[in-house]
């Protein structure tokens, strides 16, 4: 894969067999010719953050990928995978079959309405930092700090390893 970028992706689901949705999304990423999955974290059961009350628990994970795609092109692929998994964007932070967030791409910084890198809320969310620290503890989220340090300082209440149930 020529001139590959390394990108980190957050995965989440709280509808229709969440762990199976994440496993299927990882397989879909791996099937893309322009994407090579380098690592995937364990799955975690997490409480919903924001959005409407009464949502089911989430299953979250993170993955590292290598790709020659630009950040925008990778994000377009990710949105296509979400759609293929029945993702409907109707309620912000609401229940979803699959949510793929582009957390960071190399050390790229971008602050545009449709693309913000690193992800502007990644540094404050245990459901991102705990799995991300598993696969990329030395990663520095530009402007926020090293993932291992951020994860060590985050409140881990409401996050535990997914037990498969």
**Cβ atoms 75, 8 nearer than 8 A:** no
Is 83 a known active-site residue?
Answer: no
Candidate list 36, 90, 96, 121, residue with the active-site label: 96
- 96 belongs to the catalytic site: yes
Of these residues, 31, 99, 109, 163, which one is catalytic? Answer: 99
Residue 101 falls in the annotated catalytic set:
yes
CA gap 22, 104 in Å, rounded: 19
Radius of gyration over every alpha carbon of the chain, rounded to an integer in angstroms: 15
End-to-end CA distance of the chain: 37
- 127 with 159: CB under 8 angstroms? yes
Q: Return the closest-CA partner of residue 13 out of 67, 81, 65.
A: 81
Selecting among 31, 87, 89, 106, the annotated active-site residue is: 87
Let me know how long the chain is. Answer: 165
- Active-site option among 31, 89, 101, 109: 101
Instruction: Assess contact for 103 and 149: CB atoms under 8 A.
Output: no
Which residues are designated catalytic?
87, 96, 99, 101
């Amino acid at each position: 894969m020529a001139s590959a970028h390394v990108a980190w992706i957050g995965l989440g689901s709280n509808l229709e067999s969440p762990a199976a949705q994440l496993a299927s999304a990882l397989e879909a990423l791996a099937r893309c010719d322009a994407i090579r999955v380098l690592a995937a974290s364990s799955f975690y059961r997490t409480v919903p953050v924001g959005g409407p009350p009464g949502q089911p628990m989430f299953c979250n994970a993170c993955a590292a990928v290598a790709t020659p795609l630009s950040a925008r092109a990778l994000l377009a692929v990710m949105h296509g995978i979400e759609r293929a998994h029945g993702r409907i964007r109707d309620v912000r932070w609401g229940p979803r079959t699959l949510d793929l967030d582009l957390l960071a791409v190399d050390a790229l910084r971008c602050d545009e309405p449709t693309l913000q890198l690193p992800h502007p809320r990644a540094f404050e969310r245990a459901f991102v930092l705990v799995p991300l620290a598993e696969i990329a503890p030395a990663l520095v989220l530009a402007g926020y700090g090293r993932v291992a340090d951020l994860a060590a300082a985050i409140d881990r209440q409401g996050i535990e390893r997914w037990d498969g149930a």
